[in-house]
Amino acid sequence: MSTTLTNIHSRTTLPASLIVAATEIGGAILLGAFLLAESTPLVVALLAVMGALFAAMQYRPQIEEVIVAAFHDARGLATALAVAIVLIYPFFLGGNTYALHLLIVSLLYSVLALALNFQLGSANIPNFATGATYGIGAYTSALLAIHLGWSFWATLPAAAIVATVFGFLLGIPSMRTRDSYLALVTIAFGIVIHQMLNNLSWTGGPNGLVGIPAPSLLGHSFMRPIELFGFRLPSQANFYYLSAALLGLAILSAKRLHESRVGLAWNAIRADELAAKCQGINVVWYKILAFGVDAFLAAFAGTIYAFYISYISPDNFTFLVSVTIMTMVIVGGMDNTLGVILGAFLLTMLPEKLRVFSDYRLLFVSVVVILFLILRPKGLFPQRQRHYGGQ
């Protein structure tokens, strides 16, 4: 596979570093324009540009192959440039707190989509309970902070452990079902968790939990602005960098898991469960493990969300949240990390940018999603053939 990418790149006249820089900087500029766009015609124009780019890749596959080959050959530059863009990005938003808020929510949903991708994309396990484990993480951390005075950094691993236990508890009985019946079990689990959060007095009931304290790091409260090199960033920038760090951890985890025996086992189960069993793969264990990994990452995202908003209620973790996360994975491209992240960003920002249509905005969002799926039936960035180092 790597030889094929090298051959593709050798037929291009542009150096890999230039292609990588143009792609990442161009993507950052397009994202910034979309974030700061306030007029509906401009939003529609930017969506048309995105549609044209994906249509070009659909009808001219060599364009995508050249870009993939360039990123493969210049991985160090691509990583360094991506980190630099993430670090300096808030400085170019002009202190726009709404744009920063959209970025934070998009980053958190990207983590949730990557968490689900381990199941839906890697192992073909339909799970409609990601929103529930997201809520378990948020409520666990909030309750520990409010009632026991735990710091954000202490609640983070605690929430992940609690959510992972629930993930395993969901995964074990789910192994007695398959396909649509398994999906129904996860739907039921999500509904049960939502009803518990809504009816138990110690969770705040329908009123939720208020007054979640802001995190602090080395004496710096996340409620205070960031002042650096004469620049003053809004307080939301603290959570932006925290969410970006979590997404970076999720991307690294996705890469390591995909290249490990665990990722290979998940892909084997997705391809043919019976054949995987015949090869000696413990299908039940690897499926349950996928539930645990999904819940672990979802809890991290839920904890950051709870401390960022400082108020949570059961309405933040409904069944619709799980459906939205699943849509992000499918639209972006299952088992493709970049595609999943792009799908999460698109489906997080699009409803906000189309609020001008009021009650009809979800209809317009659905139309846009359908159009993108027509342009790219397998997702914006489809799953690529698995390859190994040295091959």
Q: What is the pLDDT along the chain (391 residues), one digit of tens a residue?
A: 444 444 544 455 678 889 989 999 999 999 888 888 888 888 888 888 888 888 888 888 888 888 888 888 888 899 999 999 999 999 888 778 899 999 999 999 999 999 999 988 888 888 899 999 999 999 999 999 999 889 999 999 999 999 999 999 998 888 887 778 888 999 999 999 999 999 988 888 888 899 899 898 888 888 888 887 778 888 889 999 999 999 999 999 998 988 888 889 988 888 888 888 888 889 889 999 999 999 999 999 999 999 999 899 998 898 889 988 988 898 888 888 888 999 899 889 888 887 776 677 677 777 777 877 787 777 777 777 666 554 4
pLDDT at res. 114:
93
Q: Which DSSP category does 311 fall into?
A: E
Cα–Cα dist 245/124, whole Å: 27
Cβ proximity of 103 and 35 under 8 Å: yes
Cα–Cα dist 336/350, whole Å: 21
Cα–Cα dist 151/139, whole Å: 14
pLDDT at res. 12:
55
H or E element at residue 150: none
Helix ranges restricted to H, the chain:
2-10, 16-36, 40-59, 61-73, 75-88, 97-120, 130-148, 152-174, 179-199, 236-258, 261-271, 273-278, 283-309, 319-332, 337-353, 361-375
| Nearest in space to 129 (alpha carbons), one of 115, 142, 144, 143 | 115
Cα–Cα dist 104/325, whole Å: 16
Cβ proximity of 37 and 356 under 8 Å: no
Work out the burial of residue 51: count CB atoms within 10 Å of its CB; fewer than 13 is exposed, 13-18 middle, 19 or more buried.
middle
The pair of structure tokens assigned to 115 is 């968490």
CA 264 to chain centre: 21
234 SS3 class: coil
| Nearest in space to 113 (alpha carbons), one of 287, 280, 336 | 336
Cβ proximity of 122 and 270 under 8 Å: yes
Helix axes 337-353, 16-36, angle to 10 degrees: 20
224 SS3 class: coil
Cα–Cα dist 264/281, whole Å: 10
231 SS3 class: strand
pLDDT at res. 358:
65
